[in-house]
Chains A and B, each alone.
Chain A
Amino acid sequence: MTAPEKPAYRVIGTRPVRPDGIDKVTGRAVYGADVRLPGMLRGIVLRSPHAHANIRGIDASRALALPGVKAVITGADLVPPGKTLADVPDLASNLMATTKVYYRGQAVAAVAATSEEIARQAARLIEVDYEVLPAVLDVREAMLPAAPILHAGLRTRGGDPNTQTNIIAHHVMAVGDAEAAMAGADIVTVEGEFKTSMVHQGYIEPHASTATWNPDGQITIWTSTQGSFPARQNTSAVLGHPISKIKVIPTEIGGGFGGKIAIYLEPVAALLARKSGKPVKVQMDRADVFEATGPTPGTSIRAKLGATKDGRIVAAIADMAYETGGYPIATPANYATMVAFSCYDIENLKMDGWDVVVNKPRTQDYRAPSSPAAAFAIEQLVDELSEKLGIDPLALRLKNSAREGTRGPMGMPYRRIGHEECVQAALDSDHYRSPLEGANKGRGVASGFWFNVGLRSSVSVTVQPDGTVSLIEGSTDIGGTRASLAMQLAETIGVAYEDVKPTVVDTDSVGYNDVTAGSRVTFGTGMAVVEAGKNLIKEMSGRLAGAWSVPPEEITFNAGTFSAGDKSMTFKQAAEATVGRGPGLTVSGSVNAGFLQGGGFAHHIVDVEVDPETGKVQVLRYTTVQDAGTAVHPAYVEGQMQGGAAQGIGWALNEEYYYDDNGRMANSTYLDYRIPTTLDVPMIDTIIVEVPNPLHPYGVRGVGEPGIVPPLAAIANAVYRATGVRQHQLPMSPRRILETTDAMKA
């Protein structure tokens, strides 16, 4: 289990300054809402006040009559030429309702006017005739036969073609015979039902898009997005407009965490621009972001584990219901079946996953989507099992850990992974070895898994006459990837990090890149960078061969130096000698890095203190351990680990979509939707484990997501140790702690 020896790197593993740092700390960086164009109009979206209603009619005449109003659009404008309303895909109707609204906050119409104030006033003048319908907000209630039906035409995939339902799909995953193994003699079992609330990614920057639509049909869109190419593709599909006529220019992005993959405002701004003939900017306020973008599903999970008395987990069963919000598109329960037991080697598994529509915003990915809620259930049961068996919770995890060859997600055996190494590092940590003393305190641990994805990336590299290189990327940079990609190029071509200048460009200026998501950019786009670097060395060798009059295959490249016989040149000298005097040199690297990239694992330790009178949980100490494969820029790896833990602390303790009796979200502000403040999160200690990923030339693993998986369960386990009460529902707010302990019974 010893981690393989890491090769000696020159740039990888150092901590240089990020290229975008100065602009960001001095306020010069241009984010979505900073875009301003001459003659630009402001767009405002009118949103549904109802969670579920038929739209009988929309009358915009009073809005259009208001001076300063230049255009109004409704769902009918989103129907591409030659199509009818019936052809409009759910993707389009989620952008703007046509005949029905499925959640409060859903876009119904939009106005462009000469000022934001006029646009707002005009939006209030649009009359929408709603027929309000009963709404369903709870995932298990929505599965009942008597529940209000959202989509009349929805049938469970592979299910009865004659039965209306809110269940989109029932995913079944079975290995061995879990029921029989569970019933075996001498098998100790634990089981429970767990619920999590809908939560939001909580990025600081609200969505903003600005568009122009030229008379020749050329559309240009500036937007804050996790993927400019998918944004172009989706806008093209919705508008029925060719991708060659759409250019997406990504701005700096103030956080996404999965919430800025989908498009919301891009086609709206474009259509308003076409109708008005002017550039149009549309941006959301915070309530819009909460009510009309893509939070992560609320869940209900029933699970059971069975183990031998010596601590071998032999069977696991889980029934996992995930909300998808108002539209039958997302499949979070499918992800759940891929991740729920992936930390462990369990012979008999049975998982049922249910994707269910409810009258809430259409859900989207949020950092390791589906995994934290599953871990909240499973990692608490593992904790309960360790208590019942009298085995240390980390020792129990080591005994049952997944390792190379264990069946992984989608049935493929794992390549080399690092879960055991993470648990061992936790066992050896100062935190775990330090006793926790005092009343009302407790320590919890939990493991976490995310599969990480590869997908497609392209970059190009241009050599400048002075020997520096420009790295042209299309992966929008959320987590410091300009730095981590420039470092991989510097490592590959043997130049200093400072001699690589990375730039994220628009969709016309570089090859295709999938979204910045799934912890894939440093991995997948990194592979494209390494390939571009190798292509560059090959090209330079060819040019030097001509200059030195030697066959190209005689030229070697080692530690940044080209040599052949007694001739040698550093990369920089070679660049000056070739590009400085000859034709320019641009190479590219393009990869399809596959769907899965080999798993990422984390293990967390947390100490809490619970105020028995108020139910408030204070996090006292927190340590995260994570396998980074190879940590390209360790400071950013630590930042990802800490960021995941901080978001997990919020999710565990206070965050939730709180609905009033009328189905309205009552806390759509950062005042009442309580993400943690600096005073709620202690310094989070980090331990980076490096078990190189065999699928990447430098051993890189995605690091963005595993860190949010363990906190919910780790904190619940700590609260249990502090109070003696298991927490089956999130958030573990002071109110919930008071309600589940004896505090208020006095």
Chain B
Amino acid sequence: MKVAICRYGAGNVRSVELALGRLGAELVDDLAGADVTILPGVGSARSAMAGLTERGTDVVLRERHAAGRPILGICLGLQLALDESEEDGGVPGLGLVPGRAVRLTGERVPRIGWAAVEPGGDAFWFAHSYAAETEATVATSEGVSAIVEHGSFTGVQFHPEKSGVAGARFLEQCLSRG
């Protein structure tokens, strides 16, 4: 299993690398040719999107999605795949998935902690202030979009790479589809 991680200056790459290594994945640099390409991300939508376009990664991801090749977006990586984010006064996204990222309205923002994802019921680690608003949502957590699927793109709002045993199980399932 060849897995590539998008490196575009928007964090948490090391944790994703380590999690994939534990699952025995072979890490490669070829974003277009890998069996699965992962779009990680933490931080602000505007600077992350700029990082993607500067490196031409936006083009590679759009082509990959059009060709039906698997992509996994994590946290901000999911939000960037949408049409737009309302963060930073509005940021256009990659447009791989119809919908937009909107600011959370819960009692405490950022929403930080472990929360159950339904269906399934396993708890995963969340740390976010925005979430997807999209018809492509296939699982939720406390009413918030947790997993999104559209064509060959899967996006998760939580961090499987930081979600212990449940996270490792989830990543393994994602890789098995690649």
User: Does A associate with B in a complex?
Assistant: no
Q: B residues near A, CB below 8 A?
A: none
Q: A residues near B, CB below 8 A?
A: none
